[in-house]
Amino acid sequence: MEGTKRDLAIALFLQLLSLVSCLDRSQFPPNFLFGTATSSYQIEGAYSEGNKGSSNWDIFSHIPGIQPFATLNHYDIPQELEAQYGAWLSPEIQKDFGYFAEVCFKAFGDRVKFWLTFNEPNVLVKYDYLSGHYPPGRCSKPFGNCSFGDSTTEPYIAAHNVILSHAIAVDIYRRRYQVKQGGSIGVVISTMWFEPLRNITVDQLAVQRALSFDIGWIMDPIMFGDYPLEMRKVLASRLPTFSSEEKKLLENKLDFIGINHYTSKYVKDCMISPCEVDDYNGNALVFSTGDRNGVPIGNPTSVENLYVVPYGMEKVVMYIKQRYNNTPMYITENGYPDRSDDSLSISDLTNDVERVEYIHGHLTALSSAIWKGADVRGYFLWSLLDNFEWLMGYTVRFGLYFVDFKTQERTPKLSAKWYRNFLKDSNLLLNKNEDSDLQDLAH
């Protein structure tokens, strides 16, 4: 009886969701790409380990039925480079990254038509060298309490080397591979939308500064050849400069921008009236928060500081459209986290109504941006499977498929079925013949 009530409630929820917003596949261009995102380190299997021979399914399943977007660097790096010369803190890495990129272009370029140099380099340098949350764990007070590092200079040195590594990889691809392989190359930026905490000028300026220290930090040099003025004003000599030769290299720019977007926050100015800065946006001299006067900016999730704010998707896309001359964009990550709870049944863990609502809301906002002229060409959900979520480990689940981490059994969640139907049908508007289909979705 309880299961029947739950199924009915879910079906009614989906019906209401569809009727309220009228979201359907036809609201996106015919050639718009939909997909899901994964990271090799987080989910890779072991089909060829232990001297196992190939089965017919190993061969069959590795035939391309998908369009790969290959990322050259997704946070991790060989420890040998860390030990030899300090990884991203040394310009030596630019040459090594170029070698690595060319190996990949040469080996896989006949099958990969979309290349990404880096995944979220703005997160990489902040967590590696500002707060010290990620390896090599370098930071200094007040941003973190590490045994070594300097949060006032090292993030900018590292970012400089990342940006020039990107430029070298793009240059190699442009000169030696792009024409004959017919592919394109870009970079993925982590994006958070910001709203002023108070309706005053200093907080409105703080929003622009926070965006410059987050998105502009990486994208402005790639697109314009130099860092944002807001960064120069705050950091002065702490921000590296590009030589004329390096600026020439940066003229290659990129073919598209990958956008990872999950949430939005409020920001408060800490430049005019000093306040406690946070360890993510702190060098922008702002304080970020998820609530205003005790009211959250959106529904909280199981991950701290990740709120459900669908309108942020449209706003961040329109910001990038305007700032970077409507360069083609792909939403390379967007997703909703559930807490991994062993006390819940599989049925409860797979009936992820909140994720369906999250995806629905963000796709609606994205559709609005496209209709306003934003050149967005694809949307990929994070993630296909529940997986290892870096510092959060296996405590949260982003997947469309539930993974039993003990048995490795995979079960489609309600969101997987909703997404399938969204892509299969031209719309999700209900008619009297679709009630049974929705009941099907809930099972």
pLDDT interval class at 439 (50, 70, 90): very low
Helix axes 2-21, 435-442, angle to 10 degrees: 120
In a domain, 8, yes or no: no
pLDDT interval class at 168 (50, 70, 90): very high
Q: What are phi and psi of 330, to 5 degrees?
A: -130, 135
Answer whether residue 19 shows pLDDT above 60: no
Which region holds residue 436: left if phi is over 0, alpha if psi is between -120 and 50, else beta? Answer: alpha
pLDDT interval class at 37 (50, 70, 90): confident
Q: Which residues contact 426 (CB under 8 A, 6 or more apart)?
A: 24, 25, 26
Answer whether residue 430 shows pLDDT above 50: no
| Number of domains into which the chain is organized | 1
Whose tokens are 């020439």? That residue is 248
Give yes or no for a cis peptide into 142 (omega within 30° of 0): yes
Is 117:185 a contact under the CB 8 Å cutoff?
yes
Range of the domain at 357: 29-39+64-264+297-442
Mapping DSSP to helix (H, G, I), strand (E, B) and coil, where does residue 264 land?
strand
Distance CA 17, CA 354 (A): 11
Is 159:106 a contact under the CB 8 Å cutoff?
no
pLDDT interval class at 276 (50, 70, 90): confident
- Token digits of residue 207: 């929003």
Nearest C-alpha neighbor of 416 from the set 371, 386, 375, 376: 386
Is 104:116 a contact under the CB 8 Å cutoff?
no
pLDDT interval class at 302 (50, 70, 90): very high
Average pLDDT over residues 79-108: 98
Answer whether residue 7 shows pLDDT above 80: no
Q: What is the pLDDT of residues 117-167, one digit of tens each?
A: 999 999 999 999 999 999 999 999 988 899 999 999 999 999 999 999 999
Q: Would you name the residues annotated as active-site residues?
A: 333
Answer whether residue 428 shows pLDDT above 50: no
In a domain, 355, yes or no: yes
In a domain, 144, yes or no: yes
Name beta bridge partners: 288: 267
* Average pLDDT value for the chain: 89
In a domain, 194, yes or no: yes
Distance CA 238, CA 243 (A): 16
pLDDT of residue 61: 55
pLDDT of residue 394: 93
Answer whether residue 54 shows pLDDT above 50: yes
Distance CA 274, CA 32 (A): 46
In a domain, 223, yes or no: yes
Give yes or no for a cis peptide into 196 (omega within 30° of 0): no
In a domain, 290, yes or no: no
In a domain, 85, yes or no: yes
What percent of the chain is modeled with pLDDT above 90?
Answer: 76
In a domain, 13, yes or no: no
Nearest C-alpha neighbor of 101 from the set 158, 182, 188, 170: 170
pLDDT of residue 282: 77
pLDDT of residue 429: 35
pLDDT interval class at 279 (50, 70, 90): confident
pLDDT of residue 46: 61
Q: What is the pLDDT of residues 220-252, one digit of tens each?
A: 999 999 999 999 999 999 999 999 999 999 999
- Token digits of residue 165: 């590594």
pLDDT of residue 9: 59
Q: What is the pLDDT of residues 316-366, one digit of tens each?
A: 999 999 999 999 999 999 999 999 998 999 999 999 999 999 999 999 999
Nearest C-alpha neighbor of 85 from the set 158, 152, 30, 13: 158
- Token digits of residue 319: 């910001």
CATH code for the domain of 236: 3.20.20.80
Distance CA 246, CA 248 (A): 5
Is 189:257 a contact under the CB 8 Å cutoff?
yes
Q: Who has greater pLDDT, 247 or 26?
A: 247
Q: Who has greater pLDDT, 366 or 49?
A: 366
